[in-house]
Structure 1
Amino acid sequence: MEVAVLGGGCFWCLAAVYGEVRGVTRVASGYTGGGVPDPTYEQVCAGDTGHAEVVRLEFDPAVIAYHDLLEIFFTLHDPTTLNRQGNDVGTQYRSVIYYQSAEQESVARKVLAEMAGVWDAPIVTQLAPAVTFYAAEDYHQNYVAQHPLQGYCALVVAPKVEKFRAMYAGRLK
């Protein structure tokens, strides 16, 4: 198994999609990239810790390549908006890839270059070495499956999941 850590806005969106990707064996929502040990959701949302909301994926590279996980990542959020995804605004919602190895860094740079030709505006996705990952509170784990009718889940997350299913039907579990 390998690990990927990605931030692209609210972690509920990314977690809901990656939970359906064949080859992804575990998805955890959490925080990384900040200076406060073991931050809480409230601290991260206040924007004072420096952390990003991220998902930590465990995946089988024999089933899905890191490159393919990143391609999915770039269809799930807008990598051209700095510290913002829709109405979610702040550094905690930044677009960021935390690579786990030199190989992942190389693949990420390649995908970033490929995506530059897809988007009309410059990509602002950060690329950074992996740092300590802090799991979010239990109620954030698998949140969308537990609360599908909650407003944000129904109006923001569900369309992203449907888009993934339509674009990547062959990648579904």
Structure 2
Amino acid sequence: MKNILLVCLSLLSLNAFSQNSNSKKVSNLETITLGGGCYWCVEAVYENLDGVKSVVSGFSGGNVTNPTYEQVCTGTTGHAEVVQITYDKNVTDINEIFKVFFTVHDPTTLNRQGADVGTQYRSVIFYKNDEQRKAAQSIIAELNKAKVYDNPIVTKIQAFTKFYKAEDYHQNYYANNKNQPYCKMVIQPKIEKFEKVFKTKLKKKS
């Protein structure tokens, strides 16, 4: 009986350890939703940042349920093109996520990025907790104080409510369409800038 009891206790301990380990793995992952113009551009950059587990293109901040890309393009749904980033906090952190964000898009142009014009292309951070909100407020204040840009930052900081995944053909768009003119002229320069500035933070090529 004593030996059986010890075996049972050992199994319970192993099970608890396994559950704790799984819990720790889950707790290390966090998501943030960012809008920095065309989501094809932002997605392509973050897919190369070490610690990022997934990047999904979609829509947030609007008033239409399950909007289509065509609906959002009209600028009448209130949604922004965004990417939902899941990252491992043991490898990267929210401050680094934001540093990349403010490096690869222009946060000073209201409702536009380059030739992409409309509220769907607005610069916006949809925070999911106080840590993200405070980090966003802090980095914007620091960038404005340091006058990193010629004009004030217009990036909106809003509480996250809902994310709608874009159609499948929008996912991994750059990787699947590298030879298209938009990818070569607009997305590729952003990736090159990111790789130059964050060269020690790139994912290792498999």
Q: What's the CA shift for 1:14?
A: 0.4
> Is there any run of 5+ residues in structure 2 with no aligned partner, and where?
1-28
**Which of these residues, 105, 114, 120, is aligned with residue 86 of structure 1?**
114
Equivalent residue, structure 2, for 1:168: 198
**Which of these residues, 47, 58, 74, is aligned with residue 19 of structure 1?**
47
Equivalent residue, structure 2, for 1:28: 56
Classify the secondary structure of the residue corresponding to 2:32. strand
Identity in percent: 54
CA RMSD of aligned residues (A): 0.5
Classify the secondary structure of the residue corresponding to 1:29. strand
Q: Is 1:7–1:97's contact at 8 Å kept on the other side of the alignment?
A: yes
Aligned length: 173
Supply the distance in 1 between the matched residues of 2:49 and 2:32 (Cα, whole angstroms): 13
**Which of these residues, 51, 58, 71, is aligned with residue 99 of structure 2?**
71
Is 1:3 aligned with 2:31? yes
Classify the secondary structure of the residue corresponding to 1:123. coil
Deviation sequence 1:27-63 (CA, Å, 0-9, x none)? 0000000000000000001101000000000001111
Supply the distance in 2 between the matched residues of 1:132 and 1:72 (Cα, whole angstroms): 23
Equivalent residue, structure 2, for 1:129: 159
Q: What's the CA shift for 1:87?
A: 0.3
Equivalent residue, structure 2, for 1:37: 65
Equivalent residue, structure 2, for 1:113: 141
Deviation sequence 1:93-152 (CA, Å, 0-9, x none)? 000000010111011111111121211101000000001000000000000000001111
**Which of these residues, 134, 155, 158, is aligned with residue 188 of structure 2?**
158
Report the residue type matching 2:105 in the other structure. H
Could you say which structure has the higher helix fraction?
Answer: 2
Report the residue type matching 1:25 in the other structure. K
Supply the distance in 1 between the matched residues of 2:86 and 2:139 (Cα, whole angstroms): 19
Q: Which protein shows a greater Rg?
A: 2
Report the residue type matching 1:88 in the other structure. D
Supply the distance in 2 between the matched residues of 1:21 and 1:112 (Cα, whole angstroms): 21
Supply the distance in 2 between the matched residues of 1:69 and 1:88 (Cα, whole angstroms): 23
Q: Is 1:16–1:142's contact at 8 Å kept on the other side of the alignment?
A: yes
Q: Deviating runs (4+, > 6 A) in structure 1?
A: none
Q: Is 1:74–1:115's contact at 8 Å kept on the other side of the alignment?
A: no
Moved more, 25-34 or 106-115: 106-115
Supply the distance in 2 between the matched residues of 1:111 and 1:91 (Cα, whole angstroms): 23
Supply the distance in 1 between the matched residues of 2:143 and 2:69 (Cα, whole angstroms): 31
